[in-house]
Chains A and B, each alone.
Chain A
Amino acid sequence: MNGSFDFLVIGDDEASLAAAGAAAKAGARIAVHRPSERKKRSPAATSAVPNFVWRRLDLQDYDLTLEPVSARVTLLKEGGPVTSYASARETADALEAAESEDHFVWRDFLEDMAALCEEEYLTNALYCGEAPGGRQFAALLADPQLLDKAARLFGPCADLLDDYFTDPRLKAHVAAHALSLAGSGPREAGSASALAEYIEADAWRVRTPKEGPSLRAVLERVCQDAGVEFTAEKITGVEPASGKQLTVTFANDARIKVKHVFFATPDAAAAAGTGGGAMNGLGYARHALFSMRFRLADGIEPPGGDVKALYEIIDSAEDLQKARDAAVEGRLYEQLPVEFEFAPNGELIARSSYMPAAFYEDGEWRGWTGQDRQAAAALIRERLSSRMPGFASHIRRFEAEVAAPPAGPSPFAGCDRVIVQSRRHDAIGAAVKLIDRVMTGDE
C-alpha cells in the first residue's frame, strides 16, 4: 500500500469500520489498519447502528439483521435480578411489580437525561474534541441554565441518581450498566455523563443472530464497496511529514502519507500502543479491560434464563466506586464488577473494566504478569460461579486477554494529528460523528 490518504483508521471493530465506510462514502480517501493477530471469534453485542449511520452506509442493501439485547440485568448479591428494558413502559412496569416507588419517575428520568445530552455544545466539548473558543466558553459561563446542565452532566453519577431515586437496588442497577463500560466510579466527577448517555436508544446494544452475516462482516463489505484500502502490516513509525500530514511507515517498508490517524475507540488506541488512547470520557483512563471467553458444556443458564440479555454482576452500588478506587490504586478488587453475555454460538463472554492498568506494590508500579492474568481470570470465574452455581464445572475451554494502556513510548506520541474517540455507549454513532467533524474541520 502506498500513496496518500485523508485518514488512517486503526482497528477493524464495528465503530472503526463504520467511521471508515461513512468517510469513504463521503469522498475521503481511507486506509484501515487491522490488528495483525485477530482471532476468529463469535461476535459480542455491539452498540446499535444509529439511523443516520444506517442511511449513510445504505445498510438496507446488505443482508443484515440485528436484534436488540433483550434486557439489561443486574445480579446483586442479595435479592433477585434487577432488570430494565429498551421500553420505558416495560421497565416502569417491572419496577412497579417489584414495588419500587421509583417507577413513577423512570420516564421523567429518561427524558431528563436525553435533554441533558441534547446540549450540543456540552457533548461536543466533552466527546468530540470541539475546542471551545473563548466566546463559546464565555457563553457557557453567562448562561445559568447551561451551567446547571453542565454541572449535572459532568458531576458524579451517584448525585444524579440520588436526586431521582430512592431504591438502592435500582440505583445500583443503573450505575452498573452505565459505568461498567468505562470502568468509572459513581462518585467520580464526570461519571454522570456516562449515565446520561447510556439511556439513549443508540446506546442499547444489539446482537447479530446466529444465522446471517455479522455486523462487522457487513461493515467490511461496505468499506470495500466504498474503496477503503486495508492493510495488516505492522506500523513501525509515524512522523510528521509537513504541517498537515503524517508519514506512516510499515514493516514491509511501505509508507503512506495521511492527514489524520483515527482511533474510533480507546480500545483500538490501546491495542495500537498509544497512550493518547487512554482516555475515558473525561480523563486519563486508569484501568484495564479484562475480557474472557468461555466455551461451555450445555445446560448452564443465566439467572432468569434469558440468553439474549446483558448481565452485570455487582454486590452493591458502593462496590463500583470501591472497585474503581482499587483499580486506580493499582490492585485487584475481590468483589469485582463483571459484565457478561452469551454470544450467538453459545459462548459466554465476560468482561470487567475495573482492573488496574498497572499494579502498585511496595511503592513501585509494574505491568501485568502471567500470574496477574491467572489471578484475574480466577476472580472472574469465581464471580460468575457466585451467580450461576455450578458454572465452573461447565467450562470446557476459556481464553483471557487484557487490554491495558501501554507503559512504554508509543509510535504515536507527540503527533497532534492523532484523533481518539473516547469510550462511548453509542460507539458507532460517536465514531461517525467524530470523523465527520474532523472532515468538516479540514475543509
Chain B
Amino acid sequence: MSNQKNPIGDKDGREKSKTSAHLIEGGIDAIVIGAGAEGLAAAAYLGKAGLHTVLVGAGPEIGGRIAAREIASGVDGVDGEHLVTVLDPEVIAELDLYRHGLEFAARRLDTTYFFESGNVLRFDGDLAQAALLSLDNDDDCEALEAFMGEVLEMSAFLRPAFRPFAFPAAGDQQRKLEKALSGAAPEMAARLRQYLLSSADEILRNRFGDGPLRALLLAETAFRSAAAPGEPFSFLSLLRRYAGEAAGLQGAAAYPKGGAVSVIAALRRAAQAAKVDVRAATPVKSILIEGDKVGGVTLADGGQLRAPIVVAAIDADQAYLKMIGAGLLDIGLQRALTARKPEISSARMQIVLKGVAQDDATRRNMMRRLVYAPSPEALTKAFIEARAGRVPERLIVEAVFPTALDEGAALDKRQLISVMAHPLPFDAEPDAARREAIRTAILDSIEMFAAGFSGRIEADDLRLAADEAAAAKANPAAYAAKPDVLRQWALSSAVTGSGGIGGFYFCGPEAQIGAGLSCASGRAAARAALRAYRKGAA
C-alpha cells in the first residue's frame, strides 16, 4: 500500500500529465474510476453540478462490458445486456438522455412464453394488461389478474427499497424510505412478510397449482438470479424485476435503437456535455487514503491524480481489496467481501441465422421477447445441477431478434438472435469443454420451442461472465448471478458504506440490487458525493 503523503500538485500539473507520467495532477474535484454505465452516469451528475470531474477507465473502450463487436463477418453484435428492463427513469430525465441520443426501437415488448408441454402463452408488454390475454381457463385468468395486481402494487411499493440508499450521509433518504414503507395498508404489511420470507415456489404453488402460470412466473423469478426458486427470499427477485421500468412502464422490457451500446453512447454524450474529462486506457493502481479521507488515485503508469472525491464504479474486490487494500479496511467489510462464493451465472449467446422468417406467426414472434420456461421440476433440477458445477439439461432462455426489432440493424437474408440463458455454473476460468457444453445446452433449450433451429445457424458467439469480466477488466465473480435479495441488500449496504472513508463512494455491480442496466447506483453515489461536497464548501 503506498499511502505516503505527497505534495499536492500545482495547477499546471494536469497539462503536464498528458505528456508524461509520474506526475501529480491536482485541481480535480472528483475522480470516477470505471467507464461502465454506472461510472458514466456518476461522472455526468458530478460534471453537471459543476465539479471538475475526471473519469478513468482501465480498458481501451468506454462502456465496460457493454460494447459493440463484430461476431460474424458483417454482423455487429452487442455484448452485455440485450434489453433494458430496469433503467432508472430519473437518470433518463435528469441527464436528458433522450436529448443525448437515447432512442427505443421497441418500447414495451410483448412476451411469448414457451413451455415444456408445448403450450404457448403470450403476455402483453404492459404487465397490468397481462391477465386480459386469453387463457383457456377463466379461473386462471382471474387468478392471474388478481395476482399481477398485487405483485405490481407491491413492486411499486418496494421500489425505494431496491434503490441503493445506504450511503452514510443519506439519513434523510432512510427516513424517506421509512415513511414510504410505513404508509403500508395493514393487508399490505401482512403480505409484505409473506413476500419477504417466502420462496417463489411456495407462493406460486399456492396461487396457481401446477398450471403453466406457475412455470412462467417461476422462470421470470429465477431468471438471472442465483437464488433457486424453492429457497426463501426468492420471491423478492420477481418483485425486484417488476419494480424496474423501461421507457416509462413498470415491469416492461424495451429494446434501445442500436442495442444497449446506445445507452452507453447517450451517457457518454451526457458526460461530455457536462465537461467530464473522459480518459480510456488509464488503469488505476491504488486509491490514496490519507487519514480517514480519500486523497486521489495512483495510476498504473506511476502518475497520481488528486481529488477530494473518488467514486469507484468498478467491482468491490478491485476497489476495496486491491486498490485500497485489506490493511486499511474495517474487518467486517473485508469479511463481507471475501465471504461471497458465486455458484451460478447466466450466459449470453448471439447467433446469426441463415434465411428469413417465412410465416406471419414467426415474424410476429420475432418482434417479441421470447422466453422458454422449463417445468418447475426441470428448473429445480437445473439449479441443483448448476450449483454442483454441472451444466443443466434445461435452461430458461430469453431471446430477442435485434435485426427484427431495430430497422437499422436489419441484415440481408440473415437474422441476428440474441439469447440470455440461465442458470449455468459459474466459472472464473471456463475451459473449452465447458464452453461447448454450455453452447449445446443453450441450443438444446432453444430447440425445445424452435425445432430445426440449429440447422440454420451460420455463426454463434458465446459470452460467459468471465468474458464480460475480462472485457471490463473486472473480477469475474462480480458478473456472476446475484444471490437472494436479502443478501444483496446486505452486500450493497456494506459496499456503499464505503468503509467510512470520507470522500469515497462506491457504485460498482455489488451496489445494485438485481441484474440489468440501471444507473441508479451511479446516480446515488454522485448525489451523495455532491451533498458532502456542498456541505464541505458551505
Question: Which residues does A use to contact B, with CB under 8 Å?
Answer: 125-126, 129, 131-135, 137-139, 141-142, 144, 147-148, 150-151, 154-155, 159, 162-163, 187-190, 281-284, 286, 325, 328-330, 360, 363
B150 → chain A closest CB, angstroms: 16
Question: In the complex the two chains form, is B232's CB within 8 Å of A150's CB?
Answer: no
Question: In the complex the two chains form, is B232's CB within 8 Å of A189's CB?
Answer: yes
* In the bound complex, CA of A190 to CA of B486 (Å): 11
Question: In the complex the two chains form, is A141's CB within 8 Å of B377's CB?
Answer: no
Let me know if B85 is at the binding interface, CB within 8 A.
Answer: no
Question: In the complex the two chains form, is A328's CB within 8 Å of B339's CB?
Answer: no
Instruction: Please tell me which one of the listed residues B166, B336, B377, B491 contacts residue A360 in the complex, with CB atoms under 8 A apart.
Output: B377
What residues of B have a CB within 8 angstroms of the CB of A139 in the complex? 178
Question: In the complex the two chains form, is B494's CB within 8 Å of A284's CB?
Answer: no
Let me know if B7 is at the binding interface, CB within 8 A.
Answer: no
What residues of A have a CB within 8 angstroms of the CB of B486 in the complex? 150-151, 154, 189
B524 → chain A closest CB, angstroms: 14
Question: In the complex the two chains form, is A159's CB within 8 Å of B198's CB?
Answer: no
Let me know if B341 is at the binding interface, CB within 8 A.
Answer: yes
What residues of B have a CB within 8 angstroms of the CB of A328 in the complex? 230, 380, 384
What residues of A have a CB within 8 angstroms of the CB of B339 in the complex? 159, 163
27 contacts between A and B (CB under 8 A): A125-B193, A129-B193, A132-B189, A133-B184, A134-B183, A134-B192, A135-B181, A138-B161, A138-B182, A139-B178, A144-B490, A147-B489, A148-B490, A151-B486, A151-B491, A154-B233, A159-B341, A189-B231, A189-B483, A189-B484, A190-B231, A281-B232, A283-B201, A284-B202, A286-B230, A328-B380, A328-B384
A280 → chain B closest CB, angstroms: 9
Let me know if B332 is at the binding interface, CB within 8 A.
Answer: yes
What residues of A have a CB within 8 angstroms of the CB of B59 in the complex? none
* In the bound complex, CA of A163 to CA of B340 (Å): 10
* In the bound complex, CA of A281 to CA of B202 (Å): 13
Question: In the complex the two chains form, is A135's CB within 8 Å of B197's CB?
Answer: no
Question: In the complex the two chains form, is A131's CB within 8 Å of B192's CB?
Answer: yes
Question: In the complex the two chains form, is A134's CB within 8 Å of B189's CB?
Answer: yes
Let me know if B207 is at the binding interface, CB within 8 A.
Answer: no
Question: In the complex the two chains form, is A137's CB within 8 Å of B192's CB?
Answer: yes
What residues of A have a CB within 8 angstroms of the CB of B341 in the complex? 159, 162
Question: Which residues does B use to contact A, with CB under 8 Å?
Answer: 161, 165-166, 174, 177-178, 180-184, 188-190, 192-193, 196-199, 201-202, 205, 227-228, 230-234, 332, 335-336, 339, 341, 343, 377, 380-381, 384, 387-388, 483-484, 486-487, 489-491, 493-494, 497
A140 → chain B closest CB, angstroms: 8
* In the bound complex, CA of A363 to CA of B375 (Å): 10
* In the bound complex, CA of A147 to CA of B182 (Å): 19
* In the bound complex, CA of A283 to CA of B195 (Å): 11
* In the bound complex, CA of A190 to CA of B487 (Å): 11
Question: In the complex the two chains form, is A131's CB within 8 Å of B183's CB?
Answer: no
Question: In the complex the two chains form, is B491's CB within 8 Å of A283's CB?
Answer: no
Name the CB-closest residue of A to B332. A148
Among B232, B341, B494: residue with most chain A CB under 10 A: B232
Inter-chain pairs besides A134-B192, A286-B230, 9 sampled, C-beta below 8 Å: A132-B192, A138-B161, A139-B178, A147-B494, A151-B487, A154-B232, A189-B227, A190-B232, A325-B384
Q: Given A138-B177, A141-B489, are A163 and B335 also a contact pair (CB < 8 Å)?
A: yes
* In the bound complex, CA of A284 to CA of B497 (Å): 35
- 5 tightest A-B contacts by CB? A134-B181, A151-B490, A282-B232, A138-B178, A284-B202
